[in-house]
Amino acid sequence: MERIAGQILTARFSERKGGLRSKLAHARKILPTIHPRDTFEQEKLEVLQGAMEFLESPVIERSQAALQMLEQLANSGERLVIQLSRPA
C-alpha cells in the first residue's frame, strides 16, 4: 500500500496530463485484490481508499488532507524499516 500511495503522489505532482487519473484508475482495479494480513494492514488499506476519494474532491481542504494522508502512508514503510533496524 505504501508503494501505491507513493505512485499516486508521483502522478499527482507529475507534469504529465492524465497521469493522476490513470494511476487512480489502476489503483482502484488492484485494491480489491489486496488481502490484508492483519488489522494494521486493513487500516492502511482503508486510509488509502479514503485518501483516493478525497484527492478528487472539489473541496480544497479535502484534497490537501488526502495528499497528507498519502504522504504519511507512502513514508510509513520506510519509518517501520528504520524502527525495526535500530539496536535495542
How many whole angstroms separate alpha carbon 22 and alpha carbon 8? 9
Position 47 scores a pLDDT of: 93
Residue 40 backbone dihedrals phi, psi, to 5 degrees: -60, -45
pTM equals: 0.79
Position 7 scores a pLDDT of: 92
39-55 and 19-30 helices cross at what angle (nearest 10)? 150
Band (pLDDT 50/70/90 cuts) for residue 1 is confident
